[in-house]
Each structure stands twice: as C-alpha cells, then as structure tokens.
C-alpha cells in the first residue's frame, strides 16, 4: 500500500483552539501583508500559501467555485470510489452523527462527488459553494482539506486562518487522499469539515485511517476479480497453445501463457473484440471473457504499427499519453520521467541523441547508459511510438502537447534542465 506519513493535527491535544486561532489569525494577517509574523505556519500550510501567492490569488476575494452538476453521475461512476462509499461513510459516522461536521468525498481533481451531514452544517457549506459538483482544488478555493491533500499527497488538517481565503476562516477541515492500490495514484479524497470550534486533534488521524481502509477494500475487490477471471481463463489458455493473456476490462493481467508475466497491458478504448495493436505485444486477436478479455498474440505481432496521432497531456499533476492509430485509441497515465522524455522529443524536430537527452534530462552528457535504459523501457512499453538513432517521433506521427495554463505548474516535480527551459525558468 502506498501509505502516507503520520498526519499532523492542526491543534494538538490539550491546546486551546481559541488561543491558537488568534495566533493563526495574526500569522495570517502579517504573512498576507508582507509584515513580520509572530510565528511561522506549519510547513504544509506555508507551502500551500506560497503556491497560491505565486499564482496571484487574492486571499480577500471569495469566488464561488465552478460547479459541474449535469455530469455528476458520470464523474461518480468514473471516479473508482463508488465501491468504497459505504465503507467510508460507516467509518466516519461517529464524526458526523452529532451534527457538527459534514463528510465529503471528492475525486482526484478535487470535485465534490458526495456529501452528507446535518441540514444546519450543510446550509453553512452551501454559502461557500461547498456543494456536490463543485471544484475544491487549491487553484479553485485556496488552502483546504481537499485541495491541499491532493497537492501534498498526504493527510492534512486545515484549521481556521490556515485557510488561504479569509472567507473560509470560520471552518476547520481534515482530508486524506485515497490511492488506487494497483498504481499508487491518488483517485480521490475523503474530507470531514465543520465550524472551526468543532476541531478535534484526532479527526485527521481517523480520516486518514478510513482512507487506508478504503484502499484495502479496493485491493481486495481487485484480487477477487482477477481470481475469478483466472479460474475462467485457465482452461482456455491451456488450449490456445501459443502466447496469450487473460486480462480484466482495464488490462490488468490475471494469467499468461507462453509469455513473460505482465502486470498490465494497454488496451485500446475502442475496437474490442477483434484484431488490435497492443503495446508492447504488437498485433493481437482479442476475444471476450466473462469479466475481461482473452488476448492472443497474432503471428504477425512483430510488425510495427506506429500511432498516427499522439497527445501528451501535461495540464494536470498526472501526465497522460493518448495515442490514436489504425487499430484503435489508447489513453494511459505515464511516469514523470517518460513525460519528460516525450516532451523533449516533441519540442525537438530533429530528434535527440543519447548524449543530448542526457544533457536535457540530467544536465550531464555522460549519463548515456541511464538514458538508454529509460528509452528501452519506454519503447518496450509503447512499441512503435519512438524511433531510434536519433530518438524521435516517426515522420508520420502528429504530436500535440497540452500545457497547463500556468507554465510554472508544468511537471512541477521535474528538475530536468529541458523542462525548466520550457517553463521559462532560467
């Protein structure tokens, strides 16, 4: 399990919340006005404030967040969180049953999917736009239990004046990210919010525990699905007599025959069943199975089929790669390193040699062994995407890079010189 560090409560046990709120208010006023503060905010809060101040967001101006209500049901279905909704609600019943707090579950982009609580507190939340379908990312509403948990990838408690927007100071909230146990990627946030006087130091630990239990439930459900598929597919794989796999609807591998073990394969978004190109297997024949697919490697699998269009989507924190071609369309999240490489190649019409890529990625032309190993992994994972000598996209491939509106947010964890140059950072 991709666990989080021990969550730090905003208010420690035995500390007077009112006195601490007054100190935070003084720290907030001084920090926002550029004066010397009587104390430093906690590091997670200071980092959040710095991010928001760098964007030029006005802490005195409350703008109701954007709300998506027409597609809310679809967002819920796509979130991957519906199966743990009951588990999360049961785990936090004790926190909301007294009517002082509300429970909120948001997706990986901070959009509120579900909320529950007393009418009184829900009414207070309505005034802030803390409603189903609203975006509560940091960019939308400043420092908060949902957006800051997503930005920091850790459980956080935000108390009173730790919120960046002054309009949120009457509130306290505790949020923890929920990760997909298969990939380690954050798929949502569970949050408990209420009036600031209701703050309790144990709330953030409880919220974090419930998020971890939800991850365990997701893992167990995935294991059950693969075990059921494995039982169905085993006799079929035995009869195939050639390279084949049994995978679930998302490409997670339940069983293989005459192939190295794969964890997951990249299935096209359309064209199934039938003959499709599947990186890194090549041409495959795909048949339906109960709960998944039987994938048989075709005799002409070695033939290279390059995609005709590639979209490198870098607008959010998670880089995405989309490919379209004669045999289907694919969409998959990729690692930051692969995103760096593809960005460099997308901005280099003539391609890059191994020493040049080493300079682009590490600032050191001698690291060619590391570059070649990375390129080998990338080309094996996405067969036909990148040519060699020099490394480049194929001549017939149309490449579209989608950048964030704020270029300072481009691959924020990257230290690659080439990425710094694209951001405009000297």
pLDDT in tens, 194-228: 998 887 888 999 999 999 999 999 999 999 999 99
Would you say residue 7 lies in a domain? Answer: no
Query: Which residue has better confidence, 119 or 1?
Result: 119
Tokens matching residue 188: 């949502």
Instruction: Determine how many CB atoms are found less than 10 A away from the CB of residue 381.
Output: 17
Contacts of 260 (CB under 8 A, 6+ apart): none
Same structural domain, 288 and 394: no
- Average pLDDT of the segment spanning 281-297: 90
Q: Which of 297, 319, 345 is the last residue of a domain?
A: 297
Same structural domain, 24 and 110: yes
Task: Please state which of the ranges 245-249, 306-310, 397-401 shows the lowest mean pLDDT.
Answer: 306-310
The single-letter DSSP state of residue 316 is S
Asked whether residue 2 carries a pLDDT value surpassing 50, the answer given is: no
Same structural domain, 104 and 40: yes
**DSSP E strands, 317-419:** 320-325, 328-333, 386-387, 392-393, 398-402
146 to 176, 206, 325: CA distances (angstroms): 8, 15, 38
Q: Is there a cis peptide before residue 37, judged by omega within 30 degrees of 0?
A: no
Question: Around 394, how many Cα atoms within 13 Å sit in the side-chain half-sphere?
Answer: 16
pLDDT tens digits, one per residue of 329-358: 888 888 889 999 999 999 998 899 999 999
Asked whether residue 103 carries a pLDDT value surpassing 70, the answer given is: yes
What's the domain range around 372? 309-423
Question: Around 311, how many Cα atoms within 13 Å sit in the side-chain half-sphere?
Answer: 14
Same structural domain, 249 and 344: no
**DSSP E strands, 60-144:** 102-107, 112-117
Same structural domain, 254 and 201: no
Same structural domain, 251 and 189: no
Q: Which of 297, 319, 335 is the last residue of a domain?
A: 297
Pair 174, 192: CB distance under 8 Å: yes
Same structural domain, 137 and 259: no
Same structural domain, 274 and 330: no
pLDDT tens digits, one per residue of 134-162: 999 998 999 999 999 999 999 999 999 99
pLDDT for residue 23: 92
Contacts of 76 (CB under 8 A, 6+ apart): 82, 113, 114
- Compute the 3-state secondary structure of the chain and give helix, strand, coil in percent, each to the nearest 5: 40, 25, 40
Angstrom distance (rounded) from CA 202 to CA 189: 18
- Average pLDDT of the segment spanning 79-96: 92
Contacts of 52 (CB under 8 A, 6+ apart): 59, 138, 142, 143, 164
pLDDT for residue 29: 95
Query: Which residue has better confidence, 68 or 370?
Result: 370
Same structural domain, 42 and 163: yes
pLDDT band at 270 (very low <50, low <70, confident <90, very high): confident
Paired residues of 176 in beta bridges: 190
Would you say residue 104 lies in a domain? Answer: yes
The single-letter DSSP state of residue 164 is S
**CATH code, 405:** 1.10.10
SS (H, E, C) 192-255: EEEEHHHCCCCHHHHHHHHHHHHHHHHHHHHHHHHHHHHHHHHHHHHHHCCCEEEEECCCEEEE
Would you say residue 1 lies in a domain? Answer: no
pLDDT for residue 76: 94
Phi/psi-derived region of residue 117, left when phi > 0, alpha when psi is between -120 and 50, beta in every other case: left
Pair 103, 145: CB distance under 8 Å: no
Contacts of 366 (CB under 8 A, 6+ apart): 355, 358
Would you say residue 3 lies in a domain? Answer: no
pLDDT band at 299 (very low <50, low <70, confident <90, very high): confident
Q: Which of 220, 249, 272 is the last residue of a domain?
A: 220
Q: Give the number of domains in the chain.
A: 3
Predicted TM-score (pTM) of the model is: 0.78
Angstrom distance (rounded) from CA 357 to CA 295: 35
Would you say residue 249 lies in a domain? Answer: yes
- Of 367, 399, 349, which Cα lies nearest the Cα of 357? 367
Would you say residue 418 lies in a domain? Answer: yes
pLDDT for residue 3: 46
Would you say residue 9 lies in a domain? Answer: no
**CATH code, 102:** 3.30.450.40
Same structural domain, 54 and 84: yes
Asked whether residue 1 carries a pLDDT value surpassing 50, the answer given is: no
Mean of the per-residue pLDDT values for the chain? 89
- Average pLDDT of the segment spanning 114-127: 93
pLDDT for residue 5: 61
Query: Which residue has better confidence, 270 or 207?
Result: 207
Same structural domain, 282 and 182: no
Same structural domain, 245 and 114: no
CA 254 to the chain's CA centroid: 24
Would you say residue 234 lies in a domain? Answer: no
The single-letter DSSP state of residue 64 is P
């Amino acid at each position: 399990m991709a666990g989080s560090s021990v969550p730090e409560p905003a208010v420690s046990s035995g500390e007077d919340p009112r006195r601490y709120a007054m100190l935070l208010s003084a720290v907030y006023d001084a920090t926002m006005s550029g004066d010397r503060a009587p104390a430093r905010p906690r590091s997670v809060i200071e980092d959040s404030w710095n991010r928001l101040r760098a964007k030029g967001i006005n802490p005195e101006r409350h703008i109701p967040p954007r709300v998506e209500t027409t597609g809310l049901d679809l967002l819920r279905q796509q979130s991957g969180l519906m199966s743990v909704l009951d588990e999360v609600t049961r785990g936090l019943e004790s926190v909301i049953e007294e009517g002082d707090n509300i429970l909120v579950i948001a997706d990986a982009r901070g959009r509120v999917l579900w909320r529950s609580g007393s009418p009184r507190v829900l009414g207070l939340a309505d005034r802030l736009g803390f409603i189903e379908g609203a975006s509560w990312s940091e960019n939308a509403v400043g420092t908060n239990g949902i957006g800051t948990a997503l930005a920091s990838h850790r459980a956080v408690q935000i108390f009173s004046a730790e919120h960046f927007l002054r309009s949120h100071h009457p509130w306290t909230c505790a949020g923890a990210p929920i990760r997909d146990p298969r990939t380690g990627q954050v798929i949502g946030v569970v949050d408990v919010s209420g009036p600031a006087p209701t703050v309790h130091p144990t709330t953030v630990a409880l919220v974090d525990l419930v998020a971890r239990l939800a991850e365990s439930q997701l893992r167990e459900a995935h294991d059950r699905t693969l075990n059921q598929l494995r039982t169905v597919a085993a006799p079929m794989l035995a009869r195939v007599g050639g390279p084949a796999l049994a995978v679930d609807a998302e490409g997670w591998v339940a069983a293989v025959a005459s192939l190295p073990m794969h964890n997951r394969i990249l299935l096209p978004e359309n064209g199934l069943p039938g003959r499709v190109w599947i990186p890194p297997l090549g041409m495959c024949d795909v048949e339906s199975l109960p709960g998944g697919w039987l994938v048989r490697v075709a005799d002409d699998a070695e033939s290279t089929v390059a995609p005709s269009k590639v979209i490198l989507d870098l607008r959010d924190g998670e880089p995405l790669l989309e490919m379209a071609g004669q045999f289907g369309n694919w969409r998959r999240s990729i690692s930051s390193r692969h995103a760096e490489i593809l960005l460099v190649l997308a901005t280099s019409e003539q391609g890059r040699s191994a020493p040049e890529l080493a300079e682009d990625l590490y600032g050191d032309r001698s690291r060619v062994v590391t570059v070649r190993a990375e390129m080998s992994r990338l080309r094996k994972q996405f067969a036909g995407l990148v040519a060699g000598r020099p490394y480049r996209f194929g001549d017939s491939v149309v490449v579209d890079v989608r950048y964030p509106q704020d270029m300072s947010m481009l691959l924020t964890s990257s230290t690659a010189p080439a990425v710094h140059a694209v951001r405009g950072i000297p």
